[in-house]
Structure formats: C-alpha cells, structure tokens
Structure 1
Amino acid sequence: MGKRIAIIGAGAVGGHVGGHMAANGEDIVFIDGWPEHVDAMNRDGLHLTGVTAAEEITVPVKALHMSDVQSLSKGRPIDIAFICVKSYDTQWATHLIKPYLAPDGFVASLQNCMNEEFIAAIVGWGKVVGCIAAKISVELRGPAHVNRNVPLHGNAHTVFRAGEVHGEDTPRIREVARLCAYTDSAMVTDNLWGQRWSKLCLNASGNGVSASSGLGAADIANDPHLRLVKIKLAAESIRVGRAAGFTLEKMAGIAGDVYEAAADGDAAARKIIDDAMIAAGQKGNPDARPSMGQDMAKGRRTEIDYMNGLVVAKGQENGIETPTNEGLIAAVKKVERGAAVADAGLLAGL
C-alpha cells in the first residue's frame, strides 16, 4: 500500500505539485482554508494549465476544508505532510496536521524562506525535511485552477531539491524527490541549508520588487534601475549567507561572486546578469509575477518579514549591512498597509 500524503495549503505550489501526484495515482488529500476552492476541487477536480495545451489536465481529487481535518482520523494516518502555506502560517498548519501523522510520518516544508525550524519546534527535528521549488512560477488563477507560467520540464536547472536537515541521503528523502518528480525535475541534496539560502537570495531579490512596484517579471527585467536594485538585493543576501556559514549554490546559473562584483560596479559582471535577467523575462507568460507580487495584487499579507526580513536579521547577527533590503522592506510595508500604491518610483532611491 502506498503512502498517504497530505498537502496543507492547496494554493499555487501545493495545488500544482499535489495535482501531479494525484494524476499519477498517489493517495493525496488536500487541506485548505478557502471554502470555494475546496468545494470546486471536490466537485470539478483540480484543473492544471500551463504554457502549452499539452500541459492542461483536470484531476479528480479529495479536498478538506481545514475545519474538517478531524475526519482524517477515520482513515489511515498521514505518512508525508507537505506544508505549502505561506511562511507566516507555518506553525498553525503544522499543529493542524501533527495529530494525524503516522508514527514514522514526517513533515516536508515545500515553501519559500526557511521554516524547518518552526516545524521542528512542533513535531521535532526527526520529523522534518525540506524541499525547494526553484523558479516553478505557478499561480492560483481561481477556485480549483492552478496555472504554470513557464514550460513544464523547460528549465535548464533542477526544479525540486529535497534534503534532510542533517544532509544524509535517506529512503524518505528519496521518496520526497520521487513524488516531486511527477511535476518536474527533482534531486536529493546534501546541502539543504545552502540551497535554502541560495533560493532565499533569489526570492529576496525579486519578490519584493514586484510587490512594491506592481510590475510583473518581464517589465522588471526591462527596467535598468530595477535590475540594479535586484542585483544589490542579491549581493547583500549573498554576503549575509556566507557570513552565516552557508555553502551557497549558483543562483539562476550565476555564481554569487558575479552578483557581488556587479553590485560593486563591475561592468562585465553587470552585463552578465543584465543579459540573464532580460532573457528570463522573455520566457513564459509576460504578465507572470512572483508569489509576493501575486499576494500584493490580491490584497494579501506578504512574506517580506520571512524573506528580506530574515536577510536583515541574519545580517545584524553577523555584522553585515543590508541597506537595500531594509529599503525594500519599508517600500513593501508601505504598500501593504495602504499608505502607498504600488509603483516603481517607491524604489527610486535604492
């Protein structure tokens, strides 16, 4: 009998990844807090779309509103619980699923930022693994409809990187990678923390820029000043990560040294990154926004405190200044609380 899997947070990432698992015969239950979304999934199935017509599928699924989670006690316990909610919802989501875990069940953080520590405080470090989804570019279009804005299997990099917190290669982490491979390329990493921080560097350089400017990825890529802001954000995050002791990976195929050199005025390094950003902006859906840009457009709370806020906090711990990240946080929060309308002008001074 296969594993029983719960997806807590059936939004863009959870819906997309869990939908492909369900389409391949895995025993999946989705748990979400949006009643219309849950009702539509149960009634109509989960509709997955993408850049090409060949990527479009509708999958029959089982979904529970979080108020009905107690019904899980009537079936087999959960072997793997994928936490796919926003970072600020990590703790309650973990508490929600903890009573239904099998004795050897565990929780996988399939989220942005670095939330394994929050999960471990609730279920213990022995029941936590992490999984990074790199540049998956998905969005929840409406009830029971998740769209992917880049071609399926169209990335040059490995999309999913699953890792144990201690870095060992274990049967359960290989199982996480296998499940994610239904969606796109997947691997086991022995460098979860370095991968996490490397992804954070990319997220911290792009998400808040979209959220505060109101622009999508293509428009940001075509704006020279916003490209420079992204470079400065990434360089600060890279410096902080190194000072904190993380072994960093390349970011979008570019080494951290190149970002640092570009931020310091090296014209050749700047051209390498500019060319890469412009090329990336021309791929996929031109209106696509990163997750924080989507959240801001929908009037939702952002993950800025768990993303750029973490960079600033770790910078303070390690004596690294992060003025660009601090300025971005201020701009995002200004828009978030309704004191300003999202506009690229908010980032003019960065």
Structure 2
Amino acid sequence: MIHPLRIGVAGAGSIGAYLGARLAADGHGVILLGRQRLADAVAEQGVRVTDLNGLDEQVQPDSIRVVTEPAGLDGCDIIFVTTKSHDTQAMAESIAPHVTDGATVVSFQNGVRNPDTLRKALPQAQVLAGMVPYNVVWAGPAHFHQGTSGSLVLEQREDAEHLAQTIADACNAAGLPAGLNPRIQAVQWGKLVINLNNATNALSGIPLQQQLADRDYRRVTAAAQREALAMIRGAGLAVRSSGKLLPTLMPTVLDCPDWLFRLVAGGLVKIDPQARSSMWEDLNRGRKTEIDYLNGEILRLAEQIGRPAPVNTAICRLIQQAEADRAPPNLTATALLQKIGVS
C-alpha cells in the first residue's frame, strides 16, 4: 500500500461513503462528514461495501470515522466533496474554516459547475475536478452497493499533476480504478449527456436494467441526449468519453432494436439488477433532485444560444412535479414518450 493518506469526505451520501469506505479498507485514515443516522449506523456496525462483481467487504467501526460537524475535517490532506450540486456552495462555506492551506479538494459530483464553485469558496486549497461514472445505492443503514461499472477520472493539470496522481494511485490500490484526464470539462459534459438517463429512470420507477431493456424508455433518453448534444455543440463546447461509453453515439445505441441494443451495450457497461439512478433514490426518499444541474444545464445552454429545448424542458417539469409529490410517478414508457412530445 502507498503511504496512508488522511482523507475527508464532505457530504457522505452513497458515493462519498462508498469511496471513503473502500479507501479506509486499504488502510487510509478516512473521516466521513455525514448525517447522524450514518454516524449511528457506522458506530454500531461499520460500513459494508459491495459491488456488481461480487465484492463484499466489511469496514470495522474503528477503521473509519463519521463526524456530523465540519470541524471534524480539520487536518485532512485531501477532501472529497460528494454533496448534491445544489448543496455545494453551502458545503464549501461550512468547511472553509477547516480546510488547511495547500489541501487538495476533489469534486466527485454530478454536473459541470461544482469545481468553479469550490475554487471561489476555498482559495486556500488546490481544487481538482473529478468524475464518478458509476451508480451507488444506499442499500442498508451502512451498506453501499456499486451497481454499474466504470473508472474514476481526476483532472490532470500541470500545476497539480503530482497531487492528482497520488489520489489516483491510492484509489487504484484500493480497487477503485482511476485515471487522469487533461480534458476534464469535456469529460464532465460527456458524463452529463449519459446522466440524462437518470431522469428517465427516476420517472419510470423501475431498476436501470429493466428500464434500459425497454426500447421506448431508451427512446426518451435518446431524445433528451440528441437535444443536449445539439445545445452543447451550439455553445461551442466539447464532449469526451472517459471509457467505452461514447456520449455522441449514445442516442443511436439507445434507439437500436432490443436485440441489437443488448448485443452492443453488453460490451460497454455492466449493470446489476439492484442498480437505480440516484435521482430515483432522491425521489423515493422525498429529497430534492439534481435535475437543475443535469437536464436543467441543457436548458441554460439553450437559453444562452437562443434555441428551444422542448424535450429537456418537459423532463425537468416532470421531475419537478415528482419532487412536489415526494415520490416517483412510475410512468410507463408510452406515457413518458407522450409527455415529452416524442411519437
């Protein structure tokens, strides 16, 4: 193992607790900043992490620490920020007094604007953009399950390459595949395009594997992605893949007949029967979703370049209504196609 790192996780939900526990299991000093229910569960039973490849590991309570106040992150060399995007500013302000000069902060979050928010709020830190490609479900009081495949990506920048490589090496050694990419913004936009399926899954109310097996649900996501790619190109931005999933080809792949989709998609990503989108989990728990930072980001681009984005507009409205209802609407594929205006 490489030299143990002192790692804090600010906003330890599903992703943060999973990453933190995997690193703690490899001997790093990990502090999770989370809610009291997580602290109680971890104190009682530790953290269980599982994945779609059969991993089943128990991190004992004395090997990982949970705090409920930002001061608990004092002295951390590295802080992963894993909050929902709408909580980034508040989290940054709360941890700012406890982030030491020269500390490394990594945004492992959805969306494209969080690193800039963190840089403005934490000028004393070296802030790196990061990307988590897979889904993690909070499967029990302190049980976190990775349900899809993929590798972490960290921003490769000349003035911070050593720091990024140190974190990537620690992740790789802990069984979390990770690499560096100098075009991280394009990677983030590419992930956002792929993440437009989050809303489709949340609105369907069914597991990802089952949802993606239905061509009509896939057509919903394909329509949102085509529209998104047009807006991204129109704004002069680029998209880039971090793995086998090519964002620019996704609408075509999703539109394939079921037999061909199974053939093509089987070699691109692994999804287990437990996997659901984080947006479904948010709706199921009555929480605010990240719709404004996913499909809503496409609406901002559309406004910027003066073009309509009717599909993503309709999806945003459906999710916002589901937030108000505090539950997934469980729409059929036919109903969803009709509501977004796709025949």
What secondary structure, in the 3-state scheme, does the structure 1 residue paired with 2:87 have? helix
Change (3 A) 1:338 1:167: farther
Aligned to 1:185: 177
Change (3 A) 1:71 1:132: closer
Aligned to 2:313: 326
What secondary structure, in the 3-state scheme, does the structure 2 residue paired with 1:170 have? helix
Aligned to 2:99: 101
Identical counterparts, % of pairs: 23
Q: Deviations over 1:299-347 (max 9, x none)?
A: 2111001111011101221234321111111111111111983323244
C-alpha separation between the residues in 1 aligned to 2:55 and 2:283? Answer: 31
Aligned to 2:9: 7
Q: Would you say the 8 A contact 2:11–2:34 is kept in 1?
A: yes
Change (3 A) 1:116 1:288: same
What secondary structure, in the 3-state scheme, does the structure 2 residue paired with 1:286 have? coil
What secondary structure, in the 3-state scheme, does the structure 1 residue paired with 2:32 have? strand
**Alpha-carbon shift at residue 291 of structure 1 (Å):** 0.7
Structure 2: runs of 5+ lacking an equivalent? none
> Counterpart amino acid of 1:310?
E
Aligned to 1:132: 131
**Alpha-carbon shift at residue 277 of structure 1 (Å):** 7.5
Change (3 A) 1:52 1:159: closer
Change (3 A) 1:12 1:213: same
Q: Would you say the 8 A contact 2:101–2:125 is kept in 1?
A: no
Change (3 A) 1:302 1:290: same
**Alpha-carbon shift at residue 216 of structure 1 (Å):** 1.8
> Counterpart amino acid of 1:172?
L
C-alpha separation between the residues in 2 aligned to 1:10 and 1:117? Answer: 21
Q: How does 1:177-216 map to 2 (within 5 A)?
A: 177-181=168-172, 182-204=174-196, 206-216=197-207
Q: How does 1:153-302 map to 2 (within 5 A)?
A: 155=149, 159-164=151-156, 170-181=161-172, 182-204=174-196, 206-250=197-241, 253-259=244-250, 274-275=261-262, 279=266, 283-302=270-289
Q: Deviations over 1:177-234 (max 9, x none)?
A: 2233224211110001000000000112x11111122122122112222111111111
Does residue 120 (structure 1) correspond to residue 119 (structure 2)? The answer is yes
C-alpha separation between the residues in 2 aligned to 1:281 and 1:213? Answer: 23
**Alpha-carbon shift at residue 39 of structure 1 (Å):** 1.6
Q: Would you say the 8 A contact 2:73–2:99 is kept in 1?
A: no
Does residue 307 (structure 1) correspond to residue 309 (structure 2)? The answer is no
Aligned to 2:78: 80
Equivalent of 2:23, from 6, 21, 24? 21
Aligned to 2:338: 348
Aligned to 2:47: 46
C-alpha separation between the residues in 2 aligned to 1:297 and 1:284? Answer: 20
C-alpha separation between the residues in 2 aligned to 1:257 and 1:79? Answer: 37
Change (3 A) 1:37 1:126: closer
**Alpha-carbon shift at residue 14 of structure 1 (Å):** 0.7
Q: Deviations over 1:82-132 (max 9, x none)?
A: 101111111111122221222111311011112112212211396311110
What secondary structure, in the 3-state scheme, does the structure 2 residue paired with 1:104 have? coil
Aligned to 1:31: 33
Q: Would you say the 8 A contact 2:101–2:124 is kept in 1?
A: no
What secondary structure, in the 3-state scheme, does the structure 2 residue paired with 1:103 have? coil
> Counterpart amino acid of 2:77?
D
Does residue 63 (structure 1) correspond to residue 62 (structure 2)? The answer is no
Report the TM-score when normalising by structure 2. 0.86
Change (3 A) 1:288 1:138: same
**Alpha-carbon shift at residue 145 of structure 1 (Å):** 1.3
Q: Would you say the 8 A contact 2:131–2:188 is kept in 1?
A: yes
Change (3 A) 1:169 1:277: farther
Q: Deviations over 1:256-308 (max 9, x none)?
A: 55346679xxx8x7789834676489954324211101111222111001111
What secondary structure, in the 3-state scheme, does the structure 2 residue paired with 1:118 have? helix
C-alpha separation between the residues in 2 aligned to 1:312 and 1:117? Answer: 20
C-alpha separation between the residues in 2 aligned to 1:82 and 1:103? Answer: 16
C-alpha separation between the residues in 2 aligned to 1:202 and 1:16? Answer: 21
Q: Deviations over 1:36-87 (max 9, x none)?
A: 2112213321111233554333343111013xx33555xxx22211101111
C-alpha separation between the residues in 1 aligned to 2:30 and 2:15? Answer: 15
Q: Deviations over 1:142-188 (max 9, x none)?
A: 322111224xxxx4xx5111005x57661111122223322421111
| C-alpha RMSD over aligned residues | 2.9
Change (3 A) 1:217 1:71: closer
> Counterpart amino acid of 2:99?
L
Aligned residues: 331
Deviates more, 1:122-131 or 1:232-241: 122-131
What secondary structure, in the 3-state scheme, does the structure 1 residue paired with 2:77 have? strand
